[in-house]
Structures are given as C-alpha cells and as structure tokens.
Amino acid sequence: MVENEAPMGGLGHAGHLLIRNSKKTTISMTNPTRMTRQGFPFAFDPSACETCGGRCCNGESGNIWVTRDESRALADALGLTLDAFTQGYLKKVGYRTSIGERREGENYACLLYDREKGGCTAYGARPVQCRTFPFWDYFRERPREAAAECPGVILDENGPDQG
C-alpha cells in the first residue's frame, strides 16, 4: 500500500494507489488492477472504467461535492479560470458546492461527463468523491447494488449476501 494523497483511496495519475487516512485500501499482488478496501465485501477493477460508458457519471440526480481546491484543479484541467468554472459547472447546495448536472432524457449526467468520449473531461483532476467510487459508505451494505451500477465491482463470494 502506498500512502499519499486521496482521502479514501483512488488511483493517481500514473495508476498508483493513493490513500491519506487510516482506512485500508490495497491492490492485490496477484492482480494489480484489483483494489480492495477494508470493510467492503467487494473488490474493484479500475480497468473496467475504460469500457463502461460512465455509469457512475450518469443516472439519478445527485451531488458531487467539491472543495475550493478541487474546483481550482478542475478549472485548471479544463483550461478555465476559477470564476468561469464556478459559473459554468458548479451549483450551491446549502453551504456546500456541487458539480452541476444536465438532464438527459429521464436521467442526469455530470456536467463534466462527455458522452462522445464516454468519460470525464477532467479525469485527472476528479474530486475525491469520484476518485473513491465505488468505495462509498452507501455501498458498504449494498454490494449487489454497487455491482449492478459498476461493471468493475467484483463481489466477494465469501462476503455477506446484502444489497
């Protein structure tokens, strides 16, 4: 396990696993693309992201919370000023800030999602919430829901049959 930047685990620019807190996220030595996180009854294969079409970026309406630093990084990645990025991509929800979304038929898509490319327009600067998917507390007790949403989720055959 490499300790570095992402609060709950995620992949860095060169594919290195990054973590900043005491929650354990590891990469399997037998399969370097298989990630696990302590307390989660599933593993994750990030190589599936290349083929899924951005399922985690589309679907139900929701919020992708961003900090000021994450907003700056996203603006830089898109070649925008922070003000232009804030006006074009962010929304205030109470005292917090979220990336906006657009309606696409009966679903919603993150404003950073590019349907033609099938991915995020600022992938290297994704906020923590995106980088830590699918290892969200919500999916800890709902592993089957995580697997239905994400083709990279590998259910633990010995784990609880929940969700």
pTM of the full structure: 0.74
The answer to whether the beta carbons of residues 135 and 44 sit under 8 Å apart is yes
Quote the tokens at residue 71.
């907003």
Q: How many other CB atoms sit within 10 Å of the CB of residue 92?
A: 9
User: Residue 64: which of 18, 120, 130 has the closest Cα?
Assistant: 130
Render pLDDT for 110-148 as a digit per residue (tens, 0 to 9): 999 998 888 899 999 999 999 999 999 999 999 999 999
Residue that the structure tokens 């699918």 belong to: 134
100-116, pLDDT tens digit by residue? 999 999 999 999 999 88
